[in-house]
Structure 1
Amino acid sequence: MNANDIISLISKIREKVNKRLITEMERYGIEGIATSHGDILHALNHRSRMTMAEIASVIGKDKSTVTALVEKLVRLEYVAKERNTTDTRIIYVTLTPKGEELKPVFDKISKEILDAFYAGISEEEKKILFRLLNKIYSNL
């Protein structure tokens, strides 16, 4: 096994997880959003109000990409935007009541996928996997 095999496998895992996420969201009646939208909604579930820059940092996307993703979520009425009253360059994003309704569904989907992801993997193996993936991430 060489580095390309590992990169290919990680890419395939990410692709499978993303497909599963989309399938599960559709099963729960959530349509029209991609996994990147889910990243934003997930971030807002943990911090109720974030700037575009904070969201970009948390989900690892550039601000222009986040802006486009947020605009779609605004159109779908999952999030709302508001300008800072003292510095109008700063835009805050918050979940709407419709967006808040997704939290229990996303929690359930997340648990189902993590249960499948870690099936047959011991706690010790999870720790080793996490440590190794963090080491690879730090190396890059």
Structure 2
Amino acid sequence: METRDVISLISRIREKVNRFIIQEMVKQGVDGIGTSHGDIIYALLHKHRLTMAELSTKIHKDKSTVTALVDKLVRLGLVMKERDKEDTRYVFVALTDKGRELETVFEAISAQMLEQFYRNVSEQEKEALLSILKKINNNF
């Protein structure tokens, strides 16, 4: 493998991680949502409610994509949308009770994924990997 193959390798790792997450969600009875939906739920588990614009920024997706993702989560009963009472231009998204119930599932899957991801990788290698990836990310 040549150094120029690193982008392809990163892409394959991303695909494998996403597949792992989806498979684990199905095993846990969470079916019909993808990893981008999971990003929204995860963001809302850490902040009570967010505007569509905040969600867009948090999960690094454009607003139209976030709208489609949120609408599906609304149909599944995992999140709800509500307009700001003072400024109706703002739409807030929050988890429903059904959505909040996914927290333990998401935490367990996250722990399993990280264990698999970092298997046979030392702490020093983890730190070096993170440092290098941050530099590359900042290059763009």
Alignment of 1:1-140 (within 5 A): 1-3=2-4, 5-140=5-140
Q: Shift of the alpha carbon at 1:9?
A: 0.2
Q: What is the identity, as a one-letter code, of the residue corresponding to 1:15?
A: E
Flag structure 1 segments of 5+ consecutive residues without an equivalent: none
Q: Distance in 2 between matches of 1:122 and 1:19?
A: 24
Q: CA deviation at 1:24?
A: 0.3
| 3-state SS, counterpart of residue 29 of structure 1 | coil
Alignment TM-score, normalising by the size of structure 1: 0.98
How many residues are treated as equivalent by the alignment? Answer: 139
- Provide TM-score, normalisation by structure 2: 0.98
Cα distance in 2 for residues equivalent to 1:122 and 1:83: 47
Task: Identify unmatched segments of 5+ residues in structure 2.
Answer: none
Counterpart-to-counterpart distance in 2, 1:133 and 1:85: 42
User: For 2:43, what is the secondary structure of its paired residue?
Assistant: helix
Question: Match of 1:22, as an amino acid?
Answer: I
Offset of 1:86 from its aligned partner?
1.1
Identity fraction in percent: 56
User: How far has the Cα of 1:89 moved from its partner?
Assistant: 0.9
Query: C-alpha displacement at 1:2, in angstroms?
Result: 3.1
Q: CA deviation at 1:132?
A: 0.3
For 1:58 and 1:132, the matched residues in 2 are separated by: 22
Report SS of the residue matched to 2:33.
coil
C-alpha distance after superposition, 1:8-58 (max 9, x if no partner): 000000000000011000000000101100000010011111000000001
Q: Distance in 1 between matches of 2:48 and 2:104?
A: 15
What SS is found at the alignment partner of 2:87? Answer: coil
The residue identity in structure 2 corresponding to 1:80 is M
Amino acid at match of 2:54: E
Look up the SS of the partner of 2:50 in the other structure. strand
Moved over 6 A (4+): none
